[in-house]
Structure 1
């Protein structure tokens, strides 16, 4: 930290999520004195960076705090002397996400941003870029913490922990906070009284135990969630009700993304209907983004507009800002984060990424020991972890064979024949953003 205060760099600063992050920093300014916020983007994002950056400046001016907002397309210039670096990017922009969703659906399998074939290709495009960013951080601000919001956060964190020299890396997701808030509302208790013992992987995290004032209420919560009127989900996932007998048999809190694995057929039917209508989640988000940026252009807008919550990223600000503040202030509070396992979950390599509760200290998050996952869920976690590891290797090496293997072992892809067909079509569609797979042909 400089004598003038903290310097934070946000890569992907032209994101529609940035106003929420800025709002979070403004709210916490007394405990988190950020003097410089650098918003970084690439040439293709120049217009959005200018629009979001000017809104950020108006928000800071209205708040009356001495936080300087800098806009740049020069990443290395921004990184010098940074204390924290956040990453929130989409390689290929939303048009690439539309392909990630529509191409698998054309082959009759789930198309989704972070799961299955779509998640694989978002990872293949994203991991090499983030490794380059980590390399710059190691050179220009080696003491900085890299806080990654970029999806698929589990696979990305896995790759960075394995292949980057920079190890001060934490993956952040809004799902655990969203889940805690939903369960607190369901129980009608204040959020601070509720604790959920989360463990698993990103977008595959389980609530093993739920506590209110240190009294376990897991069974009560499972019963409430078994009722059709109490479905907890996200804006991007259909709230298809769970079978009550299944939830009670499992006895563990599921996250909304588990529907892709335990309700694959029902989710696929919903997605195919949207596919036919041209209303896949990616297409909906693209329209939402256009509307948001029209709002952001308004020179009279000086706050985060409430419409941003429709975008699906609600609570990212709280997740990211809480983490940064807890590291800076050595709060030693508990947060659910994507970190290096280091023995927290038995049966997963120490160097792999897991999503677990951590005690957040000035030296970073320390994962809380979980031990063995229940046998009922351990198999799926291990299968997805193998997928993430093989996919990460494919992203780094550009190996067609590893990419095919990753595609085939993912439980949302039903056969090696389908895997190969989808892989070949998606490689061609995303060729511009996958140079590692085509360099050998040059």
Structure 2
């Protein structure tokens, strides 16, 4: 089996490789290709990847290349984990929205739109080359904003599934609180990428006992502290929102916080410099503890399960993925991309049935879905008016004056990545 990672020079990659090494029986990777335009990062990450496999006795071969066509030739699956513009662009995404009184964040709001505009055309170009190299290859997208990027891939007819680590992270946290194995917990996870709610936590599978009420009663304070939301809000909701919902439920407080501290992009950039220095050490043959603070926890386990299931292996039968709605949430279009539990196999992902969401969540899902539709149109066709319409529609913007200001700033900060600007 050949698996290619586009964006293989990312500091995330050793997390992924560690998963491939530990879970070799689930996903027997023989050829792992790390592709990245940055040769210097590839040299460091590739060297560590080989040492991780060797330490764990994995027989697979690691190849590094800056040649995309060579990387995807004959690949059974291609994982996308790229960042167009790097951390410098992320720093901007997290900064200029604050000047307009809006959240500065890399995947949602105005910053998320900027990332989508930079990313969608690049990802579609990569996907076209994957399809030419091997029409049967699966594309697994971990590149944010996952919902919009996955929708672009699916609309273009690519064999693609979107992946996020929020659900698996919550599953692991809940399992630890309950003292059970993660595999014993099934989450009733519903929403859009980075806009999700856990409406049930079931023991043993989709039809198992729902222990969410007991979980909130016994561990609500701990969960609320992790989410940085009031315990009273969780009690009122009766569900567990993802931590990205804090940008909506506490928008003004978050803006105030972000204006008084260094950006997350600056923190990550400093962390990446330290990680790359560690990766250069020829004695290092395991992922360093610092990597856990970089983000992407459990990404490797989710990616292994997903790739294995898509390729006909022993991946978990039910997984949280991003895929077409297809009537699962009847208040959304069939071609909206939702993030829910799905049955995954060689034919793709089929969402499981979900209970009708509370209007409190359904309304926000519908609003953000409309934004994502406008955002994708802006990413595909460009134009100031399309950017403005997407921003005006976003629940985190929604005001004419702010949308005007944000539109001008977005275009000014991203001209080098926007062919139409």
TM norm structure 2 = 0.95
Residue among 315, 324, 348 paired with 2:298 = 315
Quote the Cα distance in structure 2 between the aligned partners of 1:202 and 1:75.
27
Q: Distance in 1 between matches of 2:125 and 2:364?
A: 31
CA distance in 1, matches of 2:85, 2:297: 23
Q: After TM superposition, what 4+ stretches of structure 1 lie above 6 angstroms from structure 2?
A: none
Change (3 A) 1:318 1:124: same
- Superposition TM-score, scaled by structure 1 size: 0.91
In structure 2, distance between residues paired with 1:388 and 1:252: 24
Aligned to 2:72: 79
Moved more, 139-148 or 342-351: 342-351
Aligned partner of 1:219 in structure 2 is: 213
Matched, 1:200 2:191: yes
Give structure 1 stretches of 5+ with no counterpart. Answer: 1-5, 234-238
Q: Distance in 2 between matches of 1:17 and 1:389?
A: 29
C-alpha distance after superposition, 1:214-260 (max 9, x if no partner): 22222222334542x44364xxxxx423251x322322221111111
- For residues 93-104 of structure 1, the aligned pairs below 5 Å read 93-104=86-97
Distance (Å, rounded) in 1 between the aligned partners of 2:219 and 2:403: 35
- TM-aligned CA deviation for residue 23 of structure 1: 0.9
The reply on whether 1:165 has 2:157 as its aligned counterpart is yes
Q: Which residue does 1:3 correspond to in 2?
A: none
Structure 2 equivalent of residue 7 of structure 1: 2
Q: CA deviation at 1:433?
A: 1.0
Q: Which residue of 1 aligns with 2:27?
A: 32
**Aligned mates of 1:193, 1:39 — CA distance in 2:** 33
* In 2: Cα distance, 1:331 partner to 1:410 partner: 36
Contact 1:347–1:372 under 8 Å retained in 2: no
Q: Which runs of 5+ in 2 are unaligned?
A: none
* Deviation per residue, 1:301-357 (Å, 9 max, x gap): 111111100101111111111111222315561110001112222122222211010
Question: 2:85 is matched with which residue?
Answer: 92
Q: Which residue of the partner structure matches residue 252 of structure 1?
A: 239
- Hey, what does 2:47 align to over in structure 1? 54
Offset, 1:371: 5.4
Describe the superposition over 1:199-225 as per-residue Cα deviations: whole angstroms up to 9, x where unpaired: 110011111222224222222223345
Q: Determine if the alignment matches structure 1 residue 305 to structure 2 residue 297.
A: no
**How many residue pairs align between the two structures?**
417
Task: Find out whether 1:240 has 2:228 as its counterpart.
Answer: yes
CA distance in 2, matches of 1:218, 1:65: 39
Q: Aligned partners of 1:426 and 1:219: how far apart in 2?
A: 43
Q: Find the partner of 1:379 among 355, 363, 368.
A: 363
Residue from 134, 144, 148 that aligns with 1:141:
134
RMSD of equivalent CA atoms: 1.5
